[in-house]
């Protein structure tokens, strides 16, 4: 029997306290509660207030939501955001897949090509904006120069409201397509050789092999790619902020740009939060849509 | 025992990391009299203000001034997000039209006392400038300058076209004829030089229209300031004229994105800009320019103008406030230096002083000063932040762009904008 | 296989090489053009004919970028913020991932799900309450105000938890019988075995912090905290009247400086980068 030792007992208690799960959880959880979960919940509350950049707020119930209905710019922004998604989505998804197929061929120099295709993705958005403003410049831009050689143009990319969004889309495709390509490349690695060989023995040409073996096999990958593309496209901001500032004539005004201007230029924070609630809901609905659609297709 | 020690060490390390992280943020540079002075001058005039501030620091070694300038909308965004924190400005410049926006939020200090100390009186200023300093009966700004637009002319290109570079434009026909002569085609029929540039994504385009609106006898809002009045016949006529310069007379390029550079490089022969452009013109090698009043196109002369004013953001730190007031006084006392940077001093006595008249560029500035009686300011009201020419999302500005881009008719565009302005005014 | 079969195959290969070449050129051309422009003299930037190799080559834009812009301060802020974010993220994520993977406590699964679902909520959508919070805490225009919220992102927790779960449980149990505390198991067994996952998280955290835009745009207001992306944006916000917005030589030089660190890091750590992307699906 050990004699009772106060010091040792104290240490044991302390040790156990130090070893409890709570201490492992605490650091992240405190930050998570304060800076993630708290703001998510608070955002819904704020959207029910008239809240200015200075001073406290005033509870106004659903008035901010009512204002949404008559705010022309909100609808313009919503439409533009969806338009952007419709333009960018197919290109980076299908294009990413085709690029992955190409880069998966046993060709010399493909490692270099892979790196080249992915590299733009690590460049920061403001650099992408600056660079493409310069490339798309209507008089001295390099794109119009080459289009001119083909007898096209000049196209007033970012100064005309019919083409500004397309300019943004071109920049974005260059910037992000490598991301989807990499995901698809990883997926292609997992396609079992036997499956392809079996199909070939059945007499399937490369095209049938692609549509009947590879594409179905990659469905989970496609699901992931579509989901992330949708979610991130709906949040487009940096390119617009640096390339057009939402213009000309609101033609590139997106939801996040609208909530930024409303909240931090016009200081209407309550209404800005309302727009972000809508953004949140749109993302949720669209994700659920992707989820449902692709799942249905699997079954 | 050993374990315990090691755990303790881990915890201490973690604690220290988190601690330093928090401290690094909380303890910001807090030298007792470091103050921030913010403005939105991005043209050549910014160097003039920089010089004044540098001189002030030399004469007041006990005060450190951080001078910061960026486009106005960005400065106001920053002012909003930093208000009430030590990161905010201690002295802030703005346009008179912006005072109500911030005064109504209680973000500015009344400055009657400072005005009185400096013997700054209503009688020394154009009434419109002076009235702009007030919101609900209290004075919030010390007027610094005003800046109407005028037209700059490239002397060489005028001579080549057989035009007198000292010409003033007193009628629509005269103006268009000159611009036509200044529009030059090369042998293949491609236009290589235009008469004038009208930006298709530039806030100044609204200012051109604003001037013409009043020239045609229109006004922006109704008399009580409760409804839009710009979608009148006058407004349509003014906008149609700008449109016609591009598409009917073809003396201005379409989709113009850089009016300033095009003037500096001789692609366009004239440029409508403010007085802050005078020093810039002089810097451009090989470019000779003269200035004439804003062209008179319609019945009576009128020209858009803005006015800069100095304000004191509300703050708790008395020491900083005193230092900011000291800087404010210094800038007012050195109005002539500011005048030399291109802006027209608001004070009549400064303009009349020998020191100002002796400035090298006075001959240019005189053109701007002589327009004083025809100046039109944007409405001095809180809502102007939403529909003024400085807000990129302004419905009026975008209506004008729609016409400049040939996407809507002037009537359509202005009616739509009027509806939105009315909604904002409600 | 007949001769025509061979010809078809050769033709196909040739076609693939042409495609591969085209794709590579298209992917690299914009960056190359940025580099080329950054080396041009002021007058040579705006020319009607396109010159890929500047004549003369000059570093004038770079020296101007460093002398007329607070580029070093921005670089410094970006680097410090990325480093602090990394330290805080690793610390928090490793601890909680260990708890999720190895410890038993009430509500564990619920908590884990809660953390995971927040991955779906874009940080854009909470800008307003975050701003009010940071403002209230007095962290506007501080590096801390930019760092801490980034550490709340849940993706690293997910990544590490999954990885820790993959480490055989027996390894820990044996140590526990030897009297090791959880801390020792974590630092001595789990962390040393998690090199790949921690490397991936490190790379992604650094890259994301370096490239982060909207939140620093709201928080950073002066040289005390302005990062590269925000500083760069201030030169050319789409509508600005500032002449710098059109000085493409200077803009491209600044851009080169801003993206060079990530490009070099990517070229060196290519494999890890791509691993990270495929493991987490993290997108900037």
At C230-276, the pLDDT tens digits run: 999 888 764 545 566 678 999 999 999 999 999 998 888 888 777 77
| Lookup result for tokens 């019988």 | C177
**What is chain B's alpha carbon radius of gyration, rounded to the nearest angstrom?**
25
Residue B190: half-sphere exposure toward Cβ, Cα within 13 Å: 4
| B71, B201, B258, B384: best to mutate for the A interface, most A CBs within 10 A | B201
State residue B127's pLDDT score: 84
Q: Which residues of B touch A72 (CB under 8 A)?
A: 420
State residue A171's pLDDT score: 97
Q: Which chains touch B (3 or more CB pairs under 8 A)?
A: A, C
The token pair at C12 is 């196909």
CB contact (8 A) between residue C240 and residue B7: no
CB contact (8 A) between residue B393 and residue A250: yes
The residues near B380 (Cβ < 8 Å, ≥ 6 apart) are: B96, B97, B99, B100, B131, B132
Q: Are B111 and B312 in contact (CB under 8 A)?
A: yes
Report how far residue A236's alpha carbon sits from residue A242's, in angstroms, rounded to the nearest whole number: 12
| Alpha-carbon gap: B345 to the closest alpha carbon of chain A (Å) | 29
Report how far residue A232's alpha carbon sits from residue A177's, in angstroms, rounded to the nearest whole number: 13
Q: How many residues does chain C have?
A: 284
State residue C246's pLDDT score: 74
Q: Which of B7, B42, B78 sits opposite C242 (nearest CB)?
A: B42
The token pair at B178 is 């000159």
> What does pTM read for this prediction?
0.89
Q: Which residues of A touch B14 (CB under 8 A)?
A: 27
The pLDDT tens digits for A251-270 are 999 999 999 999 998 899 99
Other Cβ atoms less than 10 A from the Cβ of C89: the count is: 27
Looking at every residue in chain B, the average pLDDT score rounds to 89
The pLDDT tens digits for A69-117 are 989 999 999 999 999 999 999 999 999 999 999 999 999 999 999 999 9
The pLDDT tens digits for B317-334 are 899 999 999 999 999 889
Q: Are A37 and C118 in contact (CB under 8 A)?
A: yes
DSSP codes joined into one string, B201-248: S-THHHHHHHHHHHHTT--SB-TTSSSB-TTSHHHHHHHHHHHHHHHT
Report how far residue C178's alpha carbon sits from residue C196's, in angstroms, rounded to the nearest whole number: 27
User: What percent of chain C is modeled with pLDDT above 90?
Assistant: 57
CA dihedral C128, A124, A145, B403 (to 10 degrees): 10
Q: Are C33 and A141 in contact (CB under 8 A)?
A: no
State residue B30's pLDDT score: 46
The pLDDT tens digits for B214-232 are 999 999 999 999 999 999 9
The token pair at B67 is 């001078």
| Alpha-carbon gap: C1 to the closest alpha carbon of chain B (Å) | 59
Roughly what angle, to the nearest 10 degrees, separates helices C71-102 and C248-280?
A: 10
Q: Are C156 and C93 in contact (CB under 8 A)?
A: yes
Report how far residue A42's alpha carbon sits from residue C126's, in angstroms, rounded to the nearest whole number: 8
Of C242 and C218, the one with more pLDDT: C218
Residue A4 has pLDDT above 80, yes or no: no
Confidence of residue C173 (pLDDT cuts 50, 70, 90): confident
Report how far residue A125's alpha carbon sits from residue A119's, in angstroms, rounded to the nearest whole number: 13
Report how far residue B172's alpha carbon sits from residue B399's, in angstroms, rounded to the nearest whole number: 23
């Amino acid at each position: 029997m050990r004699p009772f030792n106060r010091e040792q007992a104290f240490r044991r208690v302390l040790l156990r306290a130090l070893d409890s799960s709570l201490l492992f959880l605490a650091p992240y959880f405190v930050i998570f509660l304060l800076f993630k979960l708290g703001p998510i919940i608070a955002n819904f509350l704020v959207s029910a207030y008239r809240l200015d950049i200075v001073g406290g707020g005033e509870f106004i119930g659903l008035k901010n939501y009512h204002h949404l209905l008559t705010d022309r710019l909100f609808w313009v922004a919503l439409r533009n955001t969806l338009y952007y998604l419709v333009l960018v989505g197919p290109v980076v998804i299908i294009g990413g897949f085709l690029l992955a197929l190409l880069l998966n061929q046993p060709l010399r120099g493909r490692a270099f090509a892979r790196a080249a295709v992915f590299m733009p993705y690590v460049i920061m958005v403001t650099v992408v904006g600056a660079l493409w403003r310069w490339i798309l410049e209507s008089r001295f831009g390099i794109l119009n120069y080459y289009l001119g050689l083909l007898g096209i143009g000049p196209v007033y990319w970012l100064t005309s409201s019919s083409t500004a969004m397309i300019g943004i889309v071109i920049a974005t495709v260059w910037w992000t397509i490598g991301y989807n390509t990499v995901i698809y490349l990883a997926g292609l690695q997992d396609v079992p050789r036997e499956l392809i060989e079996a199909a070939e023995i059945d007499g399937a040409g490369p095209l049938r092999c692609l549509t009947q073996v590879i594409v179905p096999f990659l469905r989970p990958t496609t699901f992931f790619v579509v989901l992330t593309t949708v979610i991130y496209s709906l949040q487009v901001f940096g390119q617009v902020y640096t390339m057009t500032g939402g213009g000309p004539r609101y033609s590139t005004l997106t939801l996040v740009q609208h909530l930024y201007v409303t909240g931090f230029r016009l200081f209407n924070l309550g209404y800005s939060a309302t727009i972000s609630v809508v953004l949140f809901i749109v993302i949720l609905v669209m994700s659920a849509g992707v989820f449902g659609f692709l799942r249905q297709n699997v079954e | 025992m050993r374990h315990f020690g090691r755990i303790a060490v881990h915890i201490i390390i973690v604690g220290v990391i988190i601690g330093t992280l928090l401290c690094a943020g909380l303890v910001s540079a807090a030298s007792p009299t470091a103050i921030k002075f913010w403005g939105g001058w991005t043209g050549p005039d910014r160097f003039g203000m920089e010089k004044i501030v540098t001189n002030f620091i030399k004469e007041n070694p006990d005060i450190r001034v951080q001078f910061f300038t960026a486009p106005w909308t960005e400065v106001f965004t920053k002012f909003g997000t930093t208000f009430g924190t030590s990161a905010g400005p201690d002295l802030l410049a703005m346009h008179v039209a912006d005072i109500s926006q911030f005064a109504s939020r209680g973000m500015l200090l009344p400055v009657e006392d400072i005005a009185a100390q400096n013997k700054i009186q209503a009688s020394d200023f154009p009434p419109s400038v002076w009235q702009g300093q007030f919101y609900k009966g209290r004075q919030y700004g010390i007027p610094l300058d005003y800046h109407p637009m005028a037209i700059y002319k490239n002397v060489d290109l005028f001579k080549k076209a057989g035009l007198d570079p000292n010409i003033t434009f007193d009628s629509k026909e005269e103006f268009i004829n000159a611009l036509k002569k200044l529009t030059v085609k090369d042998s293949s029929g491609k236009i290589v030089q235009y008469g004038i540039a009208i930006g298709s994504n530039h806030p100044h385009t609204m200012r051109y229209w604003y001037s013409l609106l009043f020239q045609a006898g229109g006004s922006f809002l109704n008399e009580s300031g409760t409804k839009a009045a710009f979608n009148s016949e006058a407004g349509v006529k003014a906008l149609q004229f700008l449109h016609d310069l591009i598409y009917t007379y073809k003396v201005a390029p379409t989709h113009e994105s850089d009016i300033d550079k095009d003037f500096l490089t001789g692609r366009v022969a004239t440029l409508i800009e403010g007085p802050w452009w005078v020093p810039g013109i002089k810097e451009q090698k090989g470019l000779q320019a003269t200035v004439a009043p804003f062209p008179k196109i319609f019945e009576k002369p009128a020209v858009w103008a803005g006015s800069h004013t100095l304000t004191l953001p509300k703050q708790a730190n008395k020491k900083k406030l005193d230092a900011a007031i000291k800087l404010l006084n210094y800038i007012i006392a050195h109005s002539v230096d500011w005048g030399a940077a291109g802006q027209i001093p608001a004070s009549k006595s400064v303009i009349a002083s020998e020191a100002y008249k002796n400035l090298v560029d006075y001959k240019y500035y005189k053109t701007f000063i002589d327009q004083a009686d025809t100046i039109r300011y944007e409405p001095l009201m809180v809502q102007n932040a939403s529909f003024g020419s400085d807000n990129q999302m302004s419905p009026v500005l975008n209506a004008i762009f729609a016409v400049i881009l040939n996407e809507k008719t002037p009537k359509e565009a202005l009616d739509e904008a009027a509806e939105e302005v009315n909604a904002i005014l409600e | 296989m007949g001769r025509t079969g061979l010809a078809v195959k050769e033709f196909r290969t040739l076609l693939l090489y042409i495609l591969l070449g085209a794709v590579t050129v298209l992917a690299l051309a914009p960056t190359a053009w940025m580099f080329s422009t950054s080396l041009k003299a002021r007058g040579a930037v705006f020319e009607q004919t396109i010159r890929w190799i500047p004549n003369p080559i000059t570093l004038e834009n770079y020296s101007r970028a460093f002398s007329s812009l607070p580029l070093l301060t921005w670089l410094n802020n970006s680097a410090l913020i990325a480093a602090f974010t990394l330290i805080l993220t690793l610390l928090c994520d490793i601890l909680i991932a260990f708890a999720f993977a190895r410890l038993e406590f009430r509500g564990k699964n619920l908590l884990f799900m809660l953390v995971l679902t927040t991955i779906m909520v874009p940080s854009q959508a909470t800008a307003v309450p975050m701003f009010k919070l940071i403002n209230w805490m007095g962290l506007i225009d501080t590096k801390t105000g930019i760092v801490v919220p980034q550490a709340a992102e849940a993706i690293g927790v997910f990544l590490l938890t999954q990885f820790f779960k993959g480490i055989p449980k027996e390894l820990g149990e044996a140590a526990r019988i030897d009297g090791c505390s959880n801390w020792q198991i974590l630092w001595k067994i789990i962390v040393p075995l998690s090199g790949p996952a921690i490397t991936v998280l490190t790379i992604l955290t650094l890259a994301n912090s370096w490239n982060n835009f909207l939140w620093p745009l709201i928080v950073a207001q002066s040289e005390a905290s302005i990062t590269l992306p925000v500083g760069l944006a201030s030169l050319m916000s789409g509508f600005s009247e500032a002449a710098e917005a059109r000085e493409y030589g200077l803009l491209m030089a600044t851009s080169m400086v801003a993206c060079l660190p990530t490009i070099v890091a990517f070229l060196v750590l290519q494999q890890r980068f791509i691993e990270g992307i495929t493991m987490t699906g993290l997108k900037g």
